[in-house]
């Protein structure tokens, strides 16, 4: 959520920044107008409160002096003023609530370094690693859904029978590969990140804290009976670990990681990119998240990106890194780098990690602060996160990339310890 003080002091600058996203600024105009009214009413309320306090002292003095009639008159005036104060206080609270409701729908201010653009077509490809389109043989140009069916390691039809479209079921070595990828991702980040196993369903305010609500309610699964939400990513509960808490600067940066199932309705995606594992409603992911000071944020952002990138290297996958433009970054993000793995069978670049810096946007919603080592008061922390490893698309790119001419799958060396020493998924038959 944007800082209302920044909007008050630099309204034109904030509106120009939001316009870089391609978003309208009408909501900000409304905030500016009603916030000014709130401050006017707040000042009037405070003046009345001061007058009531002064009258209370005068009434006490008059009663001590035996001047009862005068005391009663002032007390009557005080009661009338008190009623007006309560009316004003209610109105101020209502306007403050309206300001918050509007700001919960306004996106974050993009970083100055974030490239301008209108859509994903304007994202900047910063690097491409390990990709040579002429290096892939015919046996690698088979899509993973056909490979997996032949090997019996993915059963989409039975998953659809059980749960509906865009659900999948891994079987045999396919399921074992999922587990190996998860354990591998957790172990390789254990040197710096505390492992957390958070709840998979959360309260509404937990979803609000990251910016997934209210704007993206249609993309989430809501358990209406209990007013709980199935998490779309472990970013949601991890961000709220410190909600309504104050840390000390010496504790930062704090780094967490979690493996969870993730649930997304993928509203509007019917018939688009839904074959195999390209887009599914439920998937496993290892998430990395950090609390940091503003000064630590750049280094933490680079660290998460480097960790996610090194997974691609160790798994032998071609990949590229995109600097997302202002028109494509997430609503809560100030700067995002995407990592896309190349899947030769699908002939697609698949997003496998988004590494984002949210500045103080999420932490302001969640009320997470720290006490600086120097100075007084508290400061809103910065949050950053990225996918340490999102299973489905990595699984797909790995199966396609490492397929051999006989139909077997070579398993990357980094995964051997997590597969009981197995080095391949055998060819069918």
**124-156 pLDDT per residue, tens:** 999 999 999 999 999 999 999 999 999 999 999
Q: pLDDT-derived band of residue 267, with 50, 70 and 90 as boundaries?
A: confident
* pLDDT at residue 230 in the model: 98
Q: Say whether pLDDT at 248 is over 90.
A: yes
The dihedral over CA atoms of 116, 120, 124, 125, expressed in degrees to the nearest 10, equals 170
**337-368 pLDDT per residue, tens:** 999 999 999 999 999 999 999 999 999 999 99
DSSP three-state, residue 127: strand
**8-36 pLDDT per residue, tens:** 999 999 999 999 999 999 999 999 999 99
Residue 381, both tokens = 């922390």
pLDDT, mean of residues 250-271: 89
* pLDDT at residue 269 in the model: 62
Q: pLDDT-derived band of residue 71, with 50, 70 and 90 as boundaries?
A: confident
Q: Say whether pLDDT at 270 is over 80.
A: no
Q: pLDDT-derived band of residue 68, with 50, 70 and 90 as boundaries?
A: confident
Q: What is the DSSP string of 74-109?
A: HHHHHHHHHHHHHHHHHHHHHHHHHHHHHHTTSPPP
**86-107 pLDDT per residue, tens:** 999 999 999 999 999 999 999 9
Q: Say whether pLDDT at 72 is over 80.
A: yes
* pLDDT at residue 70 in the model: 84
Q: Say whether pLDDT at 334 is over 90.
A: yes
CA distances from 167 to 21, 157, 256, 280, 407 (A): 33, 9, 28, 6, 25
Q: Rounded to whole angstroms, how far apart are CA atoms 414 and 411?
A: 8
Percentage of residues in the chain with pLDDT exceeding 70? 99
Q: Are the beta carbons of 298 and 305 closer than 8 angstroms?
A: no
* pLDDT at residue 279 in the model: 94
Q: pLDDT-derived band of residue 172, with 50, 70 and 90 as boundaries?
A: very high
Q: Rounded to whole angstroms, how far apart are CA atoms 325 and 338?
A: 11
Q: Are the beta carbons of 246 and 369 closer than 8 angstroms?
A: yes
Q: Say whether pLDDT at 284 is over 90.
A: yes
Average pLDDT, the chain: 96
* pLDDT at residue 50 in the model: 93
pLDDT, mean of residues 248-258: 98
Q: Say whether pLDDT at 271 is over 60.
A: no
Name the residue among 307, 361, 360, 359 with its Cα closest to residue 113.
Answer: 359
* pLDDT at residue 67 in the model: 84
Q: Say whether pLDDT at 299 is over 70.
A: yes
* pLDDT at residue 268 in the model: 64
pLDDT, mean of residues 61-80: 86
Q: Say whether pLDDT at 272 is over 80.
A: no
Ordered by where they begin, the domains of the chain are: 4-103 (1.10.287.40), 120-425 (3.30.930.10)
The helix (run of H) or strand (run of E) holding residue 61 is helix 26-64
């Amino acid at each position: 959520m944007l800082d209302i003080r920044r909007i008050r002091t630099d309204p034109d600058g904030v509106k120009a920044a939001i316009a870089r996203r391609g978003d309208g600024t009408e909501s900000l105009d409304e905030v500016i107008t009603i916030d000014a009214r709130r401050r006017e009413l707040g000042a009037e309320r405070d003046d009345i409160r001061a007058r009531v306090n002064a009258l209370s002292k005068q009434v006490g003095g008059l009663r001590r002096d035996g001047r009862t009639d005068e005391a009663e008159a002032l007390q009557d005036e005080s009661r009338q003023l008190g009623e007006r104060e309560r009316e004003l206080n209610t109105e101020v609270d209502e306007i403050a609530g309206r300001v918050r409701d509007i700001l919960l729908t306004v996106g974050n201010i993009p970083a100055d370094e974030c490239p301008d653009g209108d859509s994903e077509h304007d994202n900047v490809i910063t690097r491409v690693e390990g990709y040579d389109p002429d290096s892939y043989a015919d046996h690698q140009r088979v899509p993973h859904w056909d490979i997996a069916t032949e090997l019996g390691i993915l059963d989409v039809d039975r998953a659809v029978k059980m749960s509906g479209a865009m659900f999948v079921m891994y079987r045999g070595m396919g399921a074992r590969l999922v587990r190996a990828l998860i354990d591998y991702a957790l172990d390789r980040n254990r040197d710096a990140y505390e492992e957390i196993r958070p709840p998979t369903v959360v309260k509404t305010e937990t979803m609000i804290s990251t910016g997934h609500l209210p704007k993206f309610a249609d993309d989430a699964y809501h358990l209406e009976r209990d007013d709980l939400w199935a998490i779309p990513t472990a970013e949601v509960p991890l961000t709220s670990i410190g909600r309504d808490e104050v840390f000390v600067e010496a504790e930062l940066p704090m780094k967490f990681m979690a493996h969870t199932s993730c649930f997304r309705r993928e509203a509007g995606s019917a018939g688009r990119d839904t074959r195999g594992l390209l887009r599914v409603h439920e998937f496993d992911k290892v998430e990395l998240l950090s609390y940091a000071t503003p000064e630590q944020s750049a280094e933490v952002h680079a660290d998460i990106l480097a960790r996610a990138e090194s997974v691609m290297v160790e798994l032998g996958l071609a990949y590229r890194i995109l600097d997302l433009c202002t028109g494509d970054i997430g609503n809560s993000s100030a700067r995002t780098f995407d990592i896309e793995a190349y899947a030769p069978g699908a002939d697609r670049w698949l997003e496998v990690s988004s590494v984002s810096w949210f500045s103080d946007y999420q932490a302001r919603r969640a009320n997470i602060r720290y006490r600086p080592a120097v100075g007084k008061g508290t400061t809103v922390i910065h949050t950053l996160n990225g996918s340490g490893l999102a299973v489905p698309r990595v699984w797909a790119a790995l199966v396609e990339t490492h397929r051999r001419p006989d139909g077997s799958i070579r398993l990357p060396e980094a995964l051997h310890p997590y597969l009981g020493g197995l080095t391949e998924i055998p060819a069918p038959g």
